[in-house]
């Protein structure tokens, strides 16, 4: 249904956030349509992580509102808050897996505790989700026994098991050794192709160029540029985004 694709599934309106007396987000607004992938880029300290955490109310913004499928979310009501968070998944830079649980139980635990499923039912879904991220043989291992790339894929499976309407990813590959980045990006690529709605902060510009529907450039707590990868990243387009990306790739070359 093409008409469905043109209605925003999630709208952030005028989000303001102050941390320790410092204005981190200055009235940031962003809409995302069903099935879109938006990539957030910007220098360190721009407020990308803060914004993503405000989107699923891990941080409560002082101002602004969030609308999920035409319903304004009220984070003040606990039940609504928990319900909303189930629908907006989050992937963290440093995985945040539950260290005392096997990969399978990491995926199953919220299904049992939050969705109230039986253990059997939850494990069945957990197996399916691990399979989806290519880890069907690692279910019985604990986080400390997994590589970084495998940990992040378990974290993705854990989020997917809740069947979120939107998935937020905060630099999901930044903590990984270079040779492990690919396996995680390829899982995210598959999700994008399946039509999962995602907002992702990343420095992986090739990935963004290839898959993003829109690139959103943040700096000092504001969105200062946005547009399709083609428009923003074109050689000689003179955008701040293109400029930033050139600096990024220069830096990478220096490192190599």
Ligand X SMILES: Nc1ncnc2c1ncn2[C@@H]1O[C@H](COP(=O)(O)OP(=O)(O)OP(=O)(O)O)[C@@H](O)[C@H]1O
Q: Which residues bind other proteins (CB under 8 A)?
A: 56, 58, 78, 82-83, 85-86, 89-90, 92, 94, 96-100, 109-110, 113-114, 141-145, 155, 158-159, 162
Of 34 and 48, which CB lies nearer to ligand X in the complex structure?
A: 48
Of 114 and 210, which CB lies nearer to other proteins in the complex structure?
A: 114
CA 129: distance to chain centroid? Answer: 17
- What number of other Cβ atoms are within 10 A of residue 103's Cβ? 29
Of 109 and 175, which CB lies nearer to ligand X in the complex structure?
A: 175
Instruction: Using CB under 6 A, pick the residue from 4, 7, 14, 19 that binds ligand X.
Output: 19
Tokens of 76: 């003040």
Of 2 and 116, which CB lies nearer to other proteins in the complex structure?
A: 116
Interactions with ligand X, residue window 30-59 (CB under 6 A): 42, 44-50
Size of the site for ligand X (CB under 6 A): 12
Of 13 and 93, which CB lies nearer to ligand X in the complex structure?
A: 93
Q: How far is the CB of 74 from Mg ion (least distance, A)?
A: 27
- For residue 164, report the phi and psi dihedrals to the nearest 5 degrees: -70, 150
Q: How far is the CB of 134 from ligand X (least distance, A)?
A: 27
- For residue 2, report the phi and psi dihedrals to the nearest 5 degrees: -65, -30
Tokens of 186: 């390829």
Q: How far is the CB of 53 from ligand X (least distance, A)?
A: 8
Are the beta carbons of 11 and 28 closer than 8 angstroms? no
Among ligand X, other proteins, Mg ion, none, partner that 92 touches (CB below 5 to 8 angstroms by kind): other proteins
Interactions with Mg ion, residue window 4-63 (CB under 5 A): 49
Instruction: Using CB under 6 A, pick the residue from 9, 10, 24, 126 that binds ligand X.
Output: 24
Of 19 and 114, which CB lies nearer to other proteins in the complex structure?
A: 114
Among other proteins, ligand X, Mg ion, none, partner that 47 touches (CB below 5 to 8 angstroms by kind): ligand X
> Which residues of the shown chain bind Mg ion in the complex (CB under 5 A)?
49
> Which residues of the shown chain bind ligand X in the complex (CB under 6 A)?
19-20, 22, 24, 42, 44-50
């Amino acid at each position: 249904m093409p008409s469905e694709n043109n209605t925003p599934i999630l709208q952030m309106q005028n989000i303001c956030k102050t941390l320790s007396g410092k204005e981190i987000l200055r009235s940031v607004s962003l809409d995302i349509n069903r099935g879109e992938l938006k990539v957030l880029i910007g220098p360190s300290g721009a407020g990308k992580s803060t914004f993503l955490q405000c989107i699923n109310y891990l941080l409560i913004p002082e101002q602004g509102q969030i609308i999920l499928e035409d319903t304004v979310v009220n984070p003040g009501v606990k039940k609504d808050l928990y319900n909303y968070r189930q629908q907006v998944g989050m992937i963290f830079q440093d995985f945040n897996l539950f260290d005392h649980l096997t990969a399978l139980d990491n995926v199953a635990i919220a299904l049992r505790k939050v969705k109230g499923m039986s253990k059997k039912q939850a494990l069945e879904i957990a197996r399916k989700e691990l399979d989806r991220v290519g880890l069907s043989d690692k279910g019985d291992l604990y986080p400390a026994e997994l590589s970084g790339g495998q940990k992040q894929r378990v974290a993705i499976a854990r989020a997917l098991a809740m069947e979120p309407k939107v998935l937020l990813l905060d630099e999901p590959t930044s903590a990984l050794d270079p040779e492990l980045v690919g396996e995680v990006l390829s899982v995210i690529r598959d999700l994008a192709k399946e039509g999962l709605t995602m907002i992702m902060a990343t420095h992986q510009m090739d990935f963004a160029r290839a898959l993003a529907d829109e690139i959103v450039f943040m700096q000092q707590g504001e969105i200062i540029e946005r547009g399709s990868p083609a428009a923003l990243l074109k050689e000689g387009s003179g955008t701040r985004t293109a400029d930033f990306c050139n600096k990024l790739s220069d830096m990478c070359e220096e490192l190599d």
